[in-house]
Amino acid sequence: MGDKVGFIQLPQRPRPVERGGGRGPQHAPPARPAPPRGRDARGTPSVPGRPGAAPRGPAFAATEAPTGEEITLKPPIIVRDLAEQLRKKPFQLIADLMELGIFATVNQPLEPEIAQRLCAKYNFRFKVEKREKGGGLVHAPIKRKEVVDSGDKPEDLKPRAPVVTIMGHVDHGKTSLLDVIRKSNVVAGEAGGITQHIGAYTISFPHPERPKELQQITFLDTPGHAAFSSMRARGANVTDIVVLVVAANDGVMPQTLEALSHAQAAKVPIVVAVNKCDHPNANPLRVRQQLQEKGLVPDDWGGDTIFVDCSALTKQGVDKLLENILLQAELLELKANPTRSAKGNVIESGLEPGGPTATVLVRKGTLRVSNTVVCGPYYGKVRALINEEGKRLKEAGPSVAVKLLGLNGVPEAGIEFDVVESERIARELCEQRTELERGEEKERRPRVTLETIIDILDESSAKVLKVVVKADTQGSVEAIVEALQKIESEKVSLEIIHSAVGTITESDVVLASASKAVILGFHTRIDTAASELAKREGVQIKLYAIIYELIDQVKEAMAGLLDPLLKEVVFGVAEVRKVFALSKGGNVAGCVIASGRIVRGKARVMRRKNLVYEGIIQTLRRFQDEVNEVRAGMECGIRLDGFDDFQPGDTIECYNIEKVTQKL
């Protein structure tokens, strides 16, 4: 929202800020109808946070042109932040907004011109700072100068290695190709190999035009496209080039198209690796035709997309693929400033015996051991930087991926990290972010009124099975969701709270835990960290390979939510013939078993078809022996727990309560 607000208000910002003093307050009203799309016509108090309406009445009409100190804020301009800058309590600003006919909360964003009017009332000059594209964290109020990203000078920029993400359909050979590329690392050679997988690694390869010059390439080995899309959603395109792996024997599959749409949405150059060219059914030409229909025209057909035929099995074409990646990177002229404080993104994160770890990719600057890092709501001093070979590094420059130890929590994949000056600043910043997130969560909670309380109580008593669906392909996800939605039941409802392609991750477990849901996986795997978190949180994860099994078990689970029907089963009746008094107190009923069998358990005494007592058989004797069961036609002595008032002619019924599962 921040970028959007800044963009819309850009044409009218100079008028009130720069020339407000010269024009005087009498010229302020005509400036209001200026914004496009007729917002003045439809700005009503029922749309808080989009205050485009003109103030009703002379609320701030007599305000002089402000001469006090200048306040600078980036959009979104939150009421709480503005109050802090004006050194006022948030409720004072809320009262001022009500005078303008705007009903807002402390966590609500304001339009710049409304913020300007509030500042003018308290004699502050107000200036909107335009947010850089992808700059800052989307969900944090960045108020400190230490984290504000300043532009780098051209003379400080140095060439950096390209960051490459390999994407494609399941079983099209992404992992095999990555293994072969890893072994083509000229520096590592054949010795040692990689002992520790960190989700990213850098290789050195000779430049195709300058064979003596070794160039570096950083590969991101992200499972699925979740991390890729979450990074993009946060405004950070960490990938420079996407390698789209397509099997020559299978051609374009649903997940190939999904990967393609991710890459195209990120506006990243695509290199197509046509893998499995050694397969007997390989048809690289068909792959080119299928992708041409999707807008990827091969370079040898006059287009601008590089296609490389290769095989991870025979290693054919792998060197050519790496050379083309380096040539593509040279065209992009990738540069970064290595001297500034580091900034980058989390690729993977987890909890290990030593504490929280995060694999981070440095985009700008140099990350050093003992730097203080802020990463979302977490912070910490960098205790160690470990590369893909398990070696400890003192520093990591641009385009280098390392495992970082020292954070006080596990950050989300894709989130941005910054280096700040001190631990105090980091702590304050994280507290602000946590407070803002808490405030936003409160805002999202439904308000309860007398009118809605009955509905809420009814909803809570309704039986709902909540599920998270993860599958290997988009086609599978859609098929499962469609099949689940067709399950009809008046007694139980099914709610699919999330469905996506890819591995079952920690975020899925957190979502399921918060929603009290079950995770259903189809042809997919569970992350180790997700499995451990699921055990801690008590979240059930079920994996399936056959779609019908999944649907049937969901139906059974829905039926299992229903309270079972209680059914009473009488399996024996005894008739009391004589009552015997015991020397130590109490009576025993001498009985003949009329039908069925009498066992120890629940029993009731009936007298002339009326219920007299209900309890448990304390002792069951045949002659002098304690027995567990007496069958029809036999005699026995029965003593009930807490009842002695037997009379000849009473009947003792032995019964059990069975639970019968309800059907949908």
343-443 and 565-660 share one fold:
yes
State mean pLDDT over 550-554: 87
pLDDT at 604: 93
Superfamily of domain 451-561 in CATH is Translation initiation factor IF- 2, domain 3 (3.40.50.10050)
- State the catalytic residue, choosing from 63, 105, 175, 503: 175
SS (H, E, C) 121-184: HCCCEEEECCCCCCCCCCCCCCCCCCCCCCCCCHHHCEECCCEEEEEECCCCCHHHHHHHHHHC
Closest CA to 262 of 219, 234, 233, 290: 233
In angstroms, the CA 165 to CA 559 distance is 44
End-to-end CA distance of the chain: 45
Residues 6+ apart with CB under 8 A from 182: 194, 201, 203
Mean pLDDT over 423-451 rounds to: 75
522-531 pLDDT, tens digit each: 988 998 889 9
SS (H, E, C) 311-360: CCCCCCCHHHHHHHHHHHHHHHCCEECCCCECEEEEEEEEEECCEEEEEE
- 32 has pLDDT over 50: no
pLDDT category, 16, cuts 50, 70, 90?
A: very low
CA distance linking residue 22 with residue 65, whole number of Å:
8
How is residue 528 annotated by DSSP? H
CA separation for the pair 228, 244 (Å, rounded): 13
Asked if 472 and 525 touch (Cβ cutoff 8 Å), the reply is no
Distance CA 188, CA 211 (A): 17
What dotted CATH number matches 343-443? Answer: 2.40.30.10
Confidence at 237, pLDDT banded by 50, 70, 90: low
**Choices 3.40.50.300, 3.40.50.2000, 2.40.30.10, 2.40.50.1020: CATH for 565-660:** 2.40.30.10
Q: Is 175 a catalytic residue?
A: yes
Distance CA 163, CA 328 (A): 12
Q: Is 320 a catalytic residue?
A: no
Confidence of residue 574 (pLDDT cuts 50, 70, 90): very high
Among the listed residues 599, 600, 608, 621, the one whose alpha carbon sits nearest the alpha carbon of residue 647:
608
| Helix, strand, coil % in the chain, rounded to nearest 5 | 30, 30, 40
Residues constituting the chain: 664
DSSP designation for 563: P
* pLDDT score of 621 more than 50: yes
566 vs 659: CA distance, rounded Å: 5
C-alpha–C-alpha distance, residues 172 and 323, integer Å: 21
Cα 96 from chain centroid (whole Å): 38
Range 215-235 average pLDDT: 60
Tokens of 22: 């010269």
**Active site residue: 74, 174, 364, 403, which one?**
174
Active-site option among 172, 225, 276, 343: 225
Among candidate residues 171, 278, 319, 644, the one labeled active-site is: 171
DSSP structure class, residue 366: B
Where do the structural domains in the chain lie, given as residue ranges? 2-128, 161-333, 343-443, 451-561, 565-660
User: Is 418 an active-site residue?
Assistant: no
| Structure confidence at residue 130 (pLDDT) | 63
593: confidence class by pLDDT, cuts 50, 70, 90 = very high
Under the banding of pLDDT at 50, 70 and 90, the label for residue 447 is low
**pLDDT band at residue 595 under the 50/70/90 scheme:** very high
- pLDDT > 70? residue 111: yes
Would you state the pLDDT for residue 7?
A: 40
What are the φ/ψ torsions at residue 494 (nearest 5 degrees)? -110, 130
Is 27 one of the catalytic residues? no
pLDDT (tens digit per residue) in 140-183: 333 333 344 456 677 778 888 888 888 877 777 777 788 888 77
Average per-residue pLDDT in the chain?
A: 77
What is residue 401's predicted lDDT score, i.e. its pLDDT? 86
The residue whose two tokens read 């999330």 is 498
Which tokens in the block code for residue 36? 């496009």
Rounded CA-CA distance 510/525 in Å is 17
How do residues 42-96 score in pLDDT, each as one tens digit? 443 444 444 444 444 445 544 466 677 788 887 778 888 888 888 888 888 888 8
- Residue 510: its H or E element: helix 506-515
pLDDT tens, position by position, 242-301 = 888 888 888 888 778 877 877 777 778 889 988 888 888 888 888 888 888 888 888 888
Read off the pLDDT of residues 458-509 as tens digits, 9 standing for 90 and up. 555 567 888 899 988 777 787 888 888 888 777 778 888 888 888 898 888 9
Does CATH number 3.90.380.10 belong to domain 161-333?
no
d(CA 363, CA 160): 9
Nearest alpha-carbon partner for 37 in 64, 14, 4, 8:
8
